[in-house]
Amino acid sequence: MRPADDVGPIRPFVSQLARNPGTHVPRRILNLTLVNDGAAMRREIAINDAVVAGWTGRDAAAVEKHVRELEQIGVKRPATTPIFYRVSAARLTTDAEIEVVGETSGGEAEFVLLQHGGRLWVGTGSDHTDRAVETYGVTVSKQMCDKPMAATFWAFDEVAPHWDKLILRAHVTEGGKPVLYQEGSVAAMLDPLDLIGRYTKSGGLAEDTLMFCGTLAAKGGVRPTVQFAFELEDPVKGRKIAHAYTARTLPILG
C-alpha cells in the first residue's frame, strides 16, 4: 500500500469533483475577429459545442452525387439527410498546421455558423476527415481530425439578403502546383436558417455553438489532401474570408 502522503496532490482535484459532479470538459477558446458594419472586433470566444452537418444539399440530385462519390471510397449511405454529427469543440483550430495519423485524410471547404453574443455569424472552415476511418464509422472519422477554420466571421444578417451569391472555393497542392479542388455557390447547400431549424426544435443554435454546414463535390473526386486552402467570397461586398493549412502526417505503427 502506498503511504498516505502519496495521495496528497490529488486531494484538491477529488474535492473539486465532489463539489461539482457535473463538471464539463474545458471549452475550446478561439481568438476570432467578428466583422459587423465595417468594424472588426477581436474576441476570445469559448465554444461550448461543435456540430458537423452532412449531406446538406438543396438539390437532391447533387446530394445523391456526393453520396455516390463517397460510396466509391467505401463510405456507407447516411441514415438521414441532412445528418448532424457531434464532435469535440477541442478539435476546432485556427492554426496553419494540424497533425493526422496516416495518409488517408483530406479537407472539405464549408461555410461555418457561430452563435455568439445573441447573434449569428458566418465564416469558413475545413471538415478535415480521415477517409479510411470513414468507411467503417463516419462519426468516429469526424472526431479523428482537427477542424481548421479561418479566424474571421461576418455578421450573418449582413450577408443574408444576398446569401446565395456567396462562393465557396478550395485549392489543394498537387505536383507542387495549386489545383482547384472545390468551387461553387453556397446555394448548393440548405439555407442556414433552414438547416438550423432541422437541427434544433427551437429554430436557433444554442449560445456559443459552432456548426459546419456541408460541402461541395470535389473536382476530380474526393482524395487525401496535405496542403489545403479554402475561402468564402462575398462578391457583393467585395470581400473574402480565407485560410490555408498543412496536414502533418504521423506514422502508423504495427
Interval 153-212: pLDDT, tens: 999 999 999 999 999 999 999 999 999 999 999 999 999 999 999 999 888 999 999 999
Looking up residue 186, the CATH number of its domain turns out to be 3.90.850.10
Q: Are 246 and 107 in contact (CB under 8 A)?
A: no
The pLDDT of residue 4 is above 70? no
Instruction: Flag whether 50 is in a domain.
Output: yes
Give domain status of residue 2, yes or no.
no
Coil/strand/helix, residue 151: coil
**Cα gap 64→188, rounded to integer Å:** 13
Its domain, for residue 47, covers 26-250
pTM exceeds 0.85 for this model: yes
| pLDDT greater at residue 127 or residue 4 | 127
Question: Residue 161 domain-assigned?
Answer: yes
CB under 8 A, 24+ apart: contacts of 26-29: 27/89, 27/208, 28/89, 28/90, 28/91, 28/92
Give the number of domains in the chain: 1
Answer yes or no: is pLDDT of 22 > 60: no
**Who wins on pLDDT, 230 or 142?**
230
Strand partners, 85: 52
Regarding predicted confidence, which is higher, 113 or 136? Answer: 113
Predicted local confidence at residue 2, as pLDDT: 46
Phi, psi of 108 (to 5 degrees): -145, 120
Most confident of 60-74, 121-135, 160-174: 160-174
